Structure 1
């Protein structure tokens, strides 16, 4: 039986503590025998767990943190705290990894793995809202805010809370095969594989006044998404050279003016796919892509899925 230890410290997100037990604990062999044993490990005096909308409550992990060393896989859920994890726990994670234990994190649990140094030089993911902050805090880690989960062999990282389901089902698939993963997915009513990445869930950022004169240019562009707008035309509207315009956009948004415009067109297409029954060709013209083919190309490149698949997943009602 595959032994799994879930790390629970102060600030742990309650749902993510329970998730590995629910998903991995549902995996069974052909004769109905459980394939995983999941233990929650933490301080003997108990920890404060958090649940959105329900505040905090006390949780007493039934197993000591030293059992991280005897597991086959250690799962580190999100912890809603900026405090550094005790060095004794970080050392246990390092020792467990050195002995061959597989490590996996869910959401901001990646921050705990980053504190160990074990993610240095590796590609990892976390919730898209926290990816930039963690990338600044741990520059040696290559955070990818687009991935639902990343399997780097002996260390796996997952994005937000529900991505923990994807990550656990992936571990079942890796450990016991696709058929067992599919059956486990059926038991918990979850897709055994989810297309696309986190970009499908990223919210449009508001245009703030702090970016100064660029704000007016951005709003002007949003009013002309359906029009064929060139870089020269944008620069003329902003009354600066194309080089200055590109430099300002890169400084404030991290992308060029044309790339930013395409992103806004994709956001607009998302809105139309979610809220209405317009055809893909009509949406493509309304959002400035010109053709359904161009819309599909940009959609796939940025969101990792198709307009039709996106509509099926996110359309209201």
Structure 2
């Protein structure tokens, strides 16, 4: 698993997901597994892996899951600036998805999936203040009504960062972790 990290990123939801991953590894250890089943890392949009306390030492070359936690954006124009600034991550998003991985975007992170072309002809959700910006970046997206999160062909979107841990558990179940 890999988390996109950088300036103005929503750290809280990603940190909460990290706690779930650590707890999952601890439970596996209590059940007698020698090696933790999950490894994760933090990567900047430019591709640099960043070490953080509590993160397993082993590196992940091609993650099964890539999470875009989203940014603290003040407006659609500001979100557009953040997407342009961190657009180097789009290639990584496309590569992980093309290799069969799950791509998860929380809140404003949905816009980066749009810029990467991963929302084209897919159902997705977006936070309502940023729907026009997401539609601009992904004009062929099918926005779902009355859904807080949705998955379409291994592309997961959630309109609120508060859904981070619930969404992660669903993604892990999809990947076969029970």
- Shorter-chain TM-score bucket reads 0.7 to 0.9
Name the counterpart of 1:153. Answer: 153
Distance 2:176 2:102 in 1: 15
Contact kept, 8 Å, 1:78 with 1:109, in 2: the verdict is yes
Shift of the 123–175 alpha-carbon distance from structure 1 to 2, 3 Å rule, reads: same
What residue number does 2:50 align with?
61
Question: What residue number does 2:55 align with?
Answer: none
1:100 CA displacement:
2.2
Q: Which runs of 5+ in 1 are unaligned?
A: 47-59, 181-317
Q: Which residue is 2:4 aligned to?
A: 7
Alpha-carbon spacing, 1:88–1:161, altered in 2? closer, same or farther (3 Å): closer
Cα RMSD over matched residues? 2.8
Q: Shift of the alpha carbon at 1:62?
A: 2.1
Instruction: Provide the C-alpha distance between the structure 1 equivalents of 2:116 and 2:91, rounded to a whole number of angstroms.
Output: 7
Deviation at 1:141, TM superposition (A): 1.2
> Could you tell me how far 1:115 is from its partner in structure 2?
0.5
Contact 1:104 1:155 in 2 (8 A): yes
Structure 1 residues 68, 119: closer, same or farther in 2, change over 3 A? farther
| Distance of 2:163 and 2:138 partners within structure 1 | 22
Residue number in structure 1 paired with 2:99: 99
**Where does residue 175 of structure 2 map in the other structure?**
175
CA contact (8 A) 2:119 2:138 kept: no
- The 3-state SS of whatever aligns with 1:135 is helix
Structure 1: how far apart are the matches of 2:61 and 2:68?
14
Aligned to 1:119: 119
Structure with higher helix content? 1
Which residue matches 2:56? none
Q: Give the drift of 1:132.
A: 4.5
Q: What are structure 2's unaligned runs of at least 5 residues?
A: 53-58, 74-78
Residues in 2 aligned to 1:102 and 1:24: alpha-carbon distance in whole angstroms: 16
Shift in Å at residue 74 of structure 1? 0.5
Residue 94 of structure 1, CA deviation = 1.6
The 1:142–1:62 alpha-carbon spacing in structure 2 relative to 1, beyond 3 Å, is same
Residue of structure 2 in register with 1:242 after alignment: none
Cα separation, 1, equivalents of 2:97 and 2:141: 17
Q: Contact conserved, 1:69 with 1:101, CA < 8 A, in 2?
A: no
Counterpart Cα distance in 2 of 1:132 and 1:114: 12
- Tell me which structure has the larger Cα radius of gyration: 1
